[in-house]
Amino acid sequence: MANCVVFHTQIASIMEVLANAAVAEICKLVDDDYAVFRLEISQSQKENGALRRKLQLLELKVVRERAERTRREHVLASPTGSVNILDRYRRMARVEGHLTGGHRRFVKPAGHNTWRDDQPIAVDEGSGTSTQHVIMIESADAEAAGPGVKQERSEGEEDPRHSRDIQTGDPTIAPAPPRIRSSITEISGTPNAILKSETDTETLSVPHRLLHTGSDHRSDPVGLERLGWQNAPGSEYLPVFHQSKRTVNSQGDDDGDTLDTGGDSSCSYAIEMDPGNMTLGLETQTDLSRGDWNQYSSSVYSEGCLDKKGDDIVVDEMKVEGDTPLTWNADETHLGHSQGRDFLDYTENLETNQNVTTHSPPHAFRDCDPESTSMGPSDLHSRVLFDQVLNSNDMARAQAQGQGATSGNSKEKRFLCMFCNKGFSCPQKVEIHQRVHTGVKPFSCTQCHMRFAEAGSLKRHQRVHTGEKPFSCTQCHMCFSHSFSLKRHQRVHTGDKSYSCPQCEKSFTHQNQLKMHLKVHMGERPFACTHCRKRFSERSYLRIHQQKKHSTL
DNA sequence: CTGGGGAGGGGGCCC
DNA sequence: TGGGCCCCCTCCCCA
């Protein structure tokens, strides 16, 4: 019995020794790993600092340029009404093309499409016209709201095309964009503040790193993965930040023992956050997550491409044309009343919903043309009906092509658009895609003022000036500048009428033909003449009617 | 004269 | 980078 007790005691002592040895080994491994981890963190912090300084320089540069352009636009401001300025510019660009897009024109002389700055630019497709001053149309409201608001809104909605054209601003007028400068000063204008934040708040650098490297992957693609980008990009920005907020007050920044969060790099960064700088960090994060980082990334991208473009392709400062006005001021509440409800909803949606999957794209408002005021409520209904009929065909095609917002291999398309959650295989594609939402158009034509989000679109557009029509029909003399135009044309020869009406068995070669035909079945005449209230099913009919009947008015 | 249909021009967007 | 498709606009023809 005694031997048994002694034996158990010895076993217990041996196990204790072994356990202690194991613990010691584990501690040693942990210490080693921790040392390596700390080293990596310190290196990352240094990288953050360098990147942040680069960012600050870029931000300052861009903001100065924008402020200068804003000043010039402000000089030529002409309040004419509260019309969506971006939509107007879109139509201006469209009208510009239409003004020169002659039907059955085989060769267009170069320069025919030249935008003349001294000409009023027709905006309304009917009789309405506007001028270049439309760029400041909304400034009328801004002036009513106060100079500060005006400056800030102009900052977000400025039109580089006009700003580039309008070079005759009165230099005696003070530029005075107070809100812009103050905002930039708060965020990144003063290096001292940033340097302080570098030492006090490491979390502040995390959103910067996350977001900016997400767009400018070339600078640090490894950092993305290290920070968890690959797991849930897009939707993970805010959770990371909120998590940081939660852990701020629970752990000290100088106690290495508390750094036991393992691989959760977000938590490990959050440890060293200074609550005093929370506002600054929140502003920066919010600012970037709303799309401003696209602006930044696009500018970087554009600048990076400057030397890659040929003589005919110019990539200059970013062009913001989209429905989501961008701003460098993170405090959107200052913008809300002047930016328009669309933008507000947009940003609120981004703020509150981290999984933005059902967001209607901003270009959903694209169809709100000037004549929409004469369109009855049924227009929306007809649009839905069109979609029901037409989308079945489109969806089948999309499925055949493997398209879709969330289709495809999620592992391959792990870079998500922060606006619509669509997945892409690499950050560049996300960046290009997000121009759909941001309206950034870095590629401008040297012969007219058209701007494009993609280089290919610009190259294709330049055939308008050169008259090049490389796509010729083998069965007739027709030549086309678009490859798809040729393909569409060849349906005439093949008799292919893919678009069939479900109600009368009619079929069409154009999808748009079917679209118009459906209106016949529905008896919709959404386009009403403002003079005699006669209604038409197509805008062109209304226009012809107005030209013939009311041209003298 | 109205309006339905045919077809090209051209930009947006994605693969 | 090019190809492809979608979409809108426009003009023309014709019943």
Q: How far apart are CA A432 and CA A424, in angstroms?
A: 10
Most confident segment among A225-239, A260-274, A445-459? A445-459
Q: What is the DSSP string of A351-389?
A: HH-SS--SPPPGGGGGG--GGGGG--THHHHHHHHHHHH
Residue-averaged pLDDT of chain A:
50
Backbone angles phi, psi at A424, to 5 degrees: -135, 165
Q: How far apart are CA A416 and CA A506, in angstroms?
A: 41
Backbone angles phi, psi at A79, to 5 degrees: -65, 120
Has residue A153 got a pLDDT over 70?
no
pTM of the model: 0.38
Has residue A5 got a pLDDT over 80?
no
Higher-confidence position of A201 and A45: A45
Most confident segment among A116-130, A374-388, A538-552? A538-552
Q: How far apart are CA A102 and CA A191, in angstroms?
A: 55
Nucleotide nearest to A404 (CA to C1'): B14
CA of A547, C1' of C10: distance in angstroms: 15
Please, how many CA atoms are within 13 Å of residue A34, restricted to the half-sphere of its CB? Answer: 14
CB proximity A492–strand B (7 Å threshold): yes
CB proximity A125–strand C (7 Å threshold): yes
Q: How confident is the model at residue A507 (pLDDT cuts 50, 70, 90)?
A: confident
Has residue A126 got a pLDDT over 70?
no
Specify the pLDDT at position A67.
61
Mean pLDDT of A333-337: 31
Q: A211 near A290, Cβ under 8 Å?
A: no
Q: What is the DSSP string of A27-44?
A: HHHHHHHHHHHHHHHHHH
Closest CA to A316 of A514, A131, A414, A458: A458
Per-residue CB contacts under 7 A with strand C, chain A residues 510-549: 510-512, 515, 538-540, 543
Mean pLDDT of A33-49: 64
Amino acid, single-letter form, for residue A41: I
Mean pLDDT of A74-85: 37
Higher-confidence position of A483 and A286: A483
Higher-confidence position of A485 and A171: A485
Mean pLDDT of A93-117: 34
Mean pLDDT of A173-182: 33
Q: A26-40, A178-192, A376-390: which range is least confident on average?
A: A178-192
CB proximity A390–strand C (7 Å threshold): yes
Structure token digits, residue A427: 């950050």
Q: A32-36, A75-79, A90-94: which range is least confident on average?
A: A90-94
Amino acid, single-letter form, for residue A441: K
Has residue A215 got a pLDDT over 50?
no
Amino acid, single-letter form, for residue A169: G
Q: How confident is the model at residue A439 (pLDDT cuts 50, 70, 90)?
A: confident
Specify the pLDDT at position A42.
66
Amino acid, single-letter form, for residue A193: A
Most confident segment among A114-118, A183-187, A464-468? A464-468
CB proximity A176–strand B (7 Å threshold): no
Specify the pLDDT at position A70.
54
Which residue reads 């901003």 in tokens?
A362
Which residue reads 């392709």 in tokens?
A313
Please report which residue ranges of A216-264 form alpha helices under DSSP H: 221-226, 237-247
Amino acid, single-letter form, for residue A212: H
CB proximity A161–strand B (7 Å threshold): no
CB proximity A474–strand B (7 Å threshold): no
Q: How far apart are CA A221 and CA A203, in angstroms?
A: 19
Backbone angles phi, psi at A339, to 5 degrees: -85, -15
- Residue A144 contacts by C-beta under 8 Å, 6 or more apart in sequence? none
CA of A541, C1' of C9: distance in angstroms: 13
CA of A118, C1' of C9: distance in angstroms: 25
Cross-strand pairs, A423 = A416
Amino acid, single-letter form, for residue A183: S
Q: How confident is the model at residue A71 (pLDDT cuts 50, 70, 90)?
A: low
Cross-strand pairs, A6 = none
CA of A323, C1' of B6: distance in angstroms: 34
CB proximity A397–strand C (7 Å threshold): yes
Per-residue CB contacts under 7 A with strand B, chain A residues 398-457: 401-404, 408, 422, 424, 432-433, 435-436, 441, 450, 452-454, 456-457
Q: How confident is the model at residue A429 (pLDDT cuts 50, 70, 90)?
A: confident
Mean pLDDT of A17-25: 74
Q: How far apart are CA A277 and CA A261, in angstroms?
A: 23
Has residue A266 got a pLDDT over 60?
no
Measured N-to-C along each axis, helices A205-215 and A278-287 cross at an angle, to the nearest 10 degrees, of 10
Closest CA to A128 of A545, A544, A548, A543: A543
Chain C: nucleotides under 7 Å from a protein CB?
Answer: 1-12
Strands A443-445 and A313-315: antiparallel
Q: How far apart are CA A6 and CA A233, in angstroms?
A: 61
Q: How confident is the model at residue A13 (pLDDT cuts 50, 70, 90)?
A: confident
